[in-house]
Amino acid sequence: MLTGGSENVGEVAKGATVGMLLALIAYLISYYYPSLDALFLALFFGMGTRALIGGEAISKDAVDKSIRFFIPAGIILYSANIPFYVFGMTSSLRVIEIFWVIALYFVIIMALGSVLKMEKRLTALLATGSAICGASAIAILSPLIKARREDTSIAIMVITAVGLTGAMIYPILRDLLHISDMSYAFLCGATLHQTGLVKIASSYAGEAVLSSALAFKGVRISMIAVAAVAVPYFLERKPAFPLFIAGFLILSVLFSFVEGLKSVAVLISPFATYAFAVAMASIGLSIDMQSLHRARLRYLNVAYAAWLVVLTLVLLSEGVMY
């Protein structure tokens, strides 16, 4: 009994160690190359490791326990990243514009998903990731809507592909269309998926544009607290909200408005990314690559379609394409 128990603990520790090591590598790469999202890299490394060593070499129990621990931990820690204070730094008109961008992403992706008979939970992950804050939003929402691990993986890979495309072409669009600094900051902050990609695309235009773009992005990030409540209710009508979501919501408000806690939030923020990265690496370790083939191109096409519509409408509203 004791021997069996200690062996089980050893397997869990071994599985968690692999995920933590992969997450650390992903985090360090992302730190130096922000365009490469840590969560996407961790997921990719996890799937690659499984492909190399085989699924039989990985303890399912270890992976399951790692996911069950690190996703709630990441969600609670992510409360340090919710910048409600940016509403005071952004004009009311811009906040309204960001809200309609968020709504557009949701409406377009959910409508196309319904027409194409796409899996509803995966479609919701794509909509939330596109509208709010990319992979982090997907990681937060996944356990709340009981999404399958394959759905989480597909959503993160799709969102990353679309976001990278945007980050590459936005500087080109800025030069071709002679977009003003403020309009370009809004374009980056309101439509790009990951914060790292917002930084890459907007820093090209200077520090002032970068600062404004991150403020606009901050308004979107703050909406994850709303999405965490609204999206599960939309899907299930009477969802059960885990206790850690209450902690996430309460701490989000405290970190945003209690002055003495803002410096603490800065210290905590990297640990949220790392916790999510460990969870994503563990998900990657648990997924058979063959199971991802069912997604085909539908989800990628839908995400690209929504982004292109939003991009076009933002350019029109900014007077760039008249």
User: Under DSSP, is residue 114 helix (H, G, I), strand (E, B) or coil?
Assistant: helix
Mean residue pLDDT across the chain? 85
Under the banding of pLDDT at 50, 70 and 90, the label for residue 168 is very high
Token pair 């691990």 is found at 149
Is residue 322 assigned to a domain? no
Each residue of 275-289: pLDDT tens digit?
A: 999 999 988 888 766
Is residue 147 assigned to a domain? yes
Three-state SS letters, 82-101: CCHHHHHCCCHHHHHHHHHH
Q: How far is CA 147 from CA 39, 140, 219, 256, in A?
A: 17, 11, 26, 29
Q: Is the pLDDT of residue 167 over 60?
A: yes
Percent of the chain with pLDDT over 90: 41
- Identify residue 99 by its one-letter amino acid code: F
Does residue 87 contact residue 39 with C-beta atoms inside 8 Å?
no
Is residue 4 assigned to a domain? no
The runs of H, that is alpha helices, within the chain are: 2-32, 38-53, 60-78, 92-115, 120-128, 134-144, 149-177, 181-191, 195-203, 207-222, 224-236, 243-257, 259-286, 298-317
Q: Is the pLDDT of residue 231 over 80?
A: yes
Each residue of 20-74: pLDDT tens digit?
A: 899 999 999 999 888 788 999 999 999 888 888 776 666 677 778 788 888 889 9
Q: Is the pLDDT of residue 118 over 60?
A: yes
Is residue 182 assigned to a domain? yes
Taking the C-alpha atoms of residue 292 and residue 154, their distance in angstroms, rounded to an integer, is: 7
Q: Which residue has the higher pLDDT, 14 or 147?
A: 147
Q: For the chain, what is the domain count?
A: 1
Taking the C-alpha atoms of residue 7 and residue 242, their distance in angstroms, rounded to an integer, is: 31
Is residue 128 assigned to a domain? yes
Confidence at residue 307, expressed as pLDDT on a 0 to 100 scale: 96
Confidence at residue 2, expressed as pLDDT on a 0 to 100 scale: 36
Among 190, 214, 253, residue whose Cα is nearest residue 34: 214
For the residues of 150-163, what is the DSSP string, one character each? Answer: HHHHHHHHHHHHHH
Measured in degrees and rounded to the nearest 5, phi and psi for residue 123 equal -60, -40
Taking the C-alpha atoms of residue 181 and residue 177, their distance in angstroms, rounded to an integer, is: 12
Contact residues for 35 (Cβ-Cβ < 8 A; gap 6+) = 164, 167, 196, 197, 200
Q: What is the mean pLDDT of residues 236-262?
A: 82
Is residue 228 assigned to a domain? yes
Among 169, 104, 108, residue whose Cα is nearest residue 302: 108
Is residue 6 assigned to a domain? no
Say which DSSP state 35 is in: T
Q: What is the mean pLDDT of residues 199-227?
A: 89
Does residue 151 contact residue 177 with C-beta atoms inside 8 Å?
no
Query: Please, what's the largest Cα pairwise distance for the chain?
Result: 75
Confidence at residue 101, expressed as pLDDT on a 0 to 100 scale: 95
Is residue 261 assigned to a domain? yes
Range of the structural domain that residue 153 is part of: 12-317
Confidence at residue 5, expressed as pLDDT on a 0 to 100 scale: 45
Confidence at residue 52, expressed as pLDDT on a 0 to 100 scale: 85
